[in-house]
């Protein structure tokens, strides 16, 4: 008598409660089974019409709107700066720098520029900064320095400097006389992050701070510095005047007291006019580039409609019928319990 042993391995079949398996009949035996649901699902759920190209298209349209706002603002600012330059030039030629009409004209033009800058926003964010530079994302950031806070000044002297900001916030700047300026500024930058500020090192060695425009306005005449007698006096803290880096429209003033003062004022206005033209050219360049990208995305952004999705489900359902039947038959055979197979083999 020949004895044979057959080993039946599990086929990773998920068991239901109480070790009972559910044997599903082939697709052909129950035409109304759950496998016929793709068509119903296609009708019940409408696919979301999101796509990468669609999102890029929306972002491009937002940037195009920001550039359009900046273009109009640059045009107004350019007109007012030209008026200021004409008034200063006429005053220098005619010698009427102290006339009240000139002062009123200069003040009125600057006020229009400030109002235009404040209104040049998209979604609440400014698109032109205080220096008249086009910045679609970071125009609300102001940069400034504290006079005397320089890594190259007395760099061999160890000193701890305390900076007190509004609302009771303070940080320490530790000059140990050994670490280089970059290390000192990196440690200061880490300390400033919880306060919503940042610090960096300029090429000249000055420590440049960055703050949101609203916070910068609140810090004027509110920052106190206490040293140990080297870079800053020891003992009582001193109120410091923040120095804008670089100066812009907010810091624009007119020295009308002398011919040299008028020349300096005209030089400031010329610099701002140059930046206005540069920003306008940059805006026009970005606008042309965005228009090309948006046109390309319009051509590529073909979102599948719900009817097309339903047709694909129908095609998939018809094409996969024989495969599904064979798969369910194999699954039914694999779902037979181990003791049933052993009993059949013995028989």
Q: Give the pLDDT score at 201.
A: 93
Q: To the nearest whole number, what is the mean pLDDT of the chain? A: 78
Rounded to whole angstroms, the Cα distance separating 85 from 170 reads 43
Residue 2 binned pLDDT confidence (cut-offs 50, 70, 90): very low
Average pLDDT score over residue span 107-116: 96
Domains of the chain, residue spans: 52-132+252-291, 141-247
Q: 72, 280 in Cβ contact below 8 A?
A: no
* Element housing 126 (H / E): strand 125-126
Average pLDDT score over residue span 286-303: 71
Average pLDDT score over residue span 215-229: 90
Say which residue, 170 or 64, is predicted with more confidence: 170
* Helices of type H across the chain: 38-44, 52-94, 100-119, 181-192, 213-219, 259-300, 306-319, 321-334, 338-346
Residue 86 binned pLDDT confidence (cut-offs 50, 70, 90): very high
Q: Percent of the chain at pLDDT above 70?
A: 68
**Greatest distance between any 2 Cα atoms in the chain:** 131
Q: Is 259 exposed, middle or buried (0-12, 13-18, 19+ CB in 10 A)?
A: exposed
Residue 299 binned pLDDT confidence (cut-offs 50, 70, 90): low
Residue 304 binned pLDDT confidence (cut-offs 50, 70, 90): low
Q: 253, 110 in Cβ contact below 8 A?
A: no
Assess whether pLDDT exceeds 50 at residue 214: yes
Q: Give the pLDDT score at 117.
A: 94
Q: 248, 131 in Cβ contact below 8 A?
A: yes
Average pLDDT score over residue span 103-115: 95
Say which residue, 29 or 107, is predicted with more confidence: 107
Token digits of residue 212 = 């949101």
Assess whether pLDDT exceeds 90 at residue 79: yes
Tell me the per-residue pLDDT of 262-279, one tens digit each, with 9 for 90 and over: 999 999 999 999 999 999
CATH topology of domain 52-132+252-291: f41 fragment of flagellin, N-terminal domain (1.20.1330)
Q: 210, 143 in Cβ contact below 8 A?
A: yes
Say which residue, 167 or 151, is predicted with more confidence: 151
Residue 287 binned pLDDT confidence (cut-offs 50, 70, 90): confident
Say which residue, 296 or 305, is predicted with more confidence: 296
Average pLDDT score over residue span 75-104: 89
Tell me the per-residue pLDDT of 20-62, one tens digit each, with 9 for 90 and over: 444 444 444 444 444 444 444 444 444 444 444 555 556 767 8
Q: 287, 68 in Cβ contact below 8 A?
A: yes
Q: 194, 231 in Cβ contact below 8 A?
A: no
The structure tokens 């320089």 sit at 150
CATH of 141-247, one of 2.20.25, 2.60.40, 3.30.230, 3.30.70: 2.60.40
Q: 57, 298 in Cβ contact below 8 A?
A: yes
Q: Is the pTM of this model over 0.75?
A: no
Residue 339 binned pLDDT confidence (cut-offs 50, 70, 90): low
Average pLDDT score over residue span 119-133: 92
Assess whether pLDDT exceeds 80 at residue 292: no
Token digits of residue 264 = 């300096």
Q: Give the pLDDT score at 323.
A: 57
Q: Give the pLDDT score at 36.
A: 45
Q: What are phi and psi of 338, to 5 degrees?
A: -60, -45
Rounded to whole angstroms, the Cα distance separating 186 from 198 reads 10
Please tell me the number of Cα atoms within 13 Å of 263 on its side-chain side: 3
Look at the chain and count its residues: 347
Assess whether pLDDT exceeds 50 at residue 18: no
Q: Percent of the chain at pLDDT above 90?
A: 40
Q: Return the ∠ at Cα 179 (arms to 173 and 180), rounded to 5°.
A: 95
Q: 84, 34 in Cβ contact below 8 A?
A: no
């Amino acid at each position: 008598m020949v004895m044979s042993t057959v080993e039946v391995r599990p086929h990773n079949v998920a068991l239901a409660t109480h070790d009972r398996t559910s044997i599903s009949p082939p697709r052909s035996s129950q035409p109304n089974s759950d496998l016929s649901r793709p068509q119903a699902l296609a009708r019940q759920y409408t696919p979301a019409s999101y796509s990468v190209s669609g999102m890029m298209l929306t972002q491009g349209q937002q940037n195009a709107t920001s550039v359009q706002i900046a273009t109009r603002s640059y045009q107004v600012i350019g007109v007012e700066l030209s008026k200021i330059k004409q008034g200063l030039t006429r005053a220098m030629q005619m010698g009427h720098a102290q006339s009240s009409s000139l002062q009123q004209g200069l003040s009125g033009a600057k006020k229009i520029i400030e109002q235009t800058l404040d209104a040049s926003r998209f979604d609440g964010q400014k698109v032109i900064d205080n220096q008249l530079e086009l910045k679609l994302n970071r125009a609300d950031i102001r940069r400034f320095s504290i006079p005397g806070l320089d890594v190259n000044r007395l760099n061999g002297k160890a000193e701890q400097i305390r900076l007190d900001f509004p609302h009771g916030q303070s940080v320490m700047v530790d000059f140990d006389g050994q670490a280089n300026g970059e290390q000192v500024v990196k440690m200061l930058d880490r300390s400033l992050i919880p306060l919503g500020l940042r610090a960096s090192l300029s090429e000249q060695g000055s420590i440049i701070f960055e703050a949101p425009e609203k916070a910068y306005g609140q810090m004027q005449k509110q920052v106190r510095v206490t040293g140990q007698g080297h870079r800053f006096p020891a003992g009582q803290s001193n109120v410091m005047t923040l120095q804008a880096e670089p100066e812009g429209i907010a810091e624009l003033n007119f020295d009308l007291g002398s011919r040299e003062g008028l020349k300096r004022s005209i030089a400031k206005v010329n610099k701002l006019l140059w930046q206005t033209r540069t920003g306008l050219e940059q805006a026009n360049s970005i606008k042309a580039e965005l228009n090309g990208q948006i046109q390309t995305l319009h051509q590529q952004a073909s979102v599948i409609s719900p009817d097309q999705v339903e047709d694909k489900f129908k095609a998939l359902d018809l094409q996969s019928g024989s495969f599904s039947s064979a798969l369910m038959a194999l699954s039914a055979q694999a779902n037979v319990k181990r003791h049933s197979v052993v009993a059949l083999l013995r028989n």
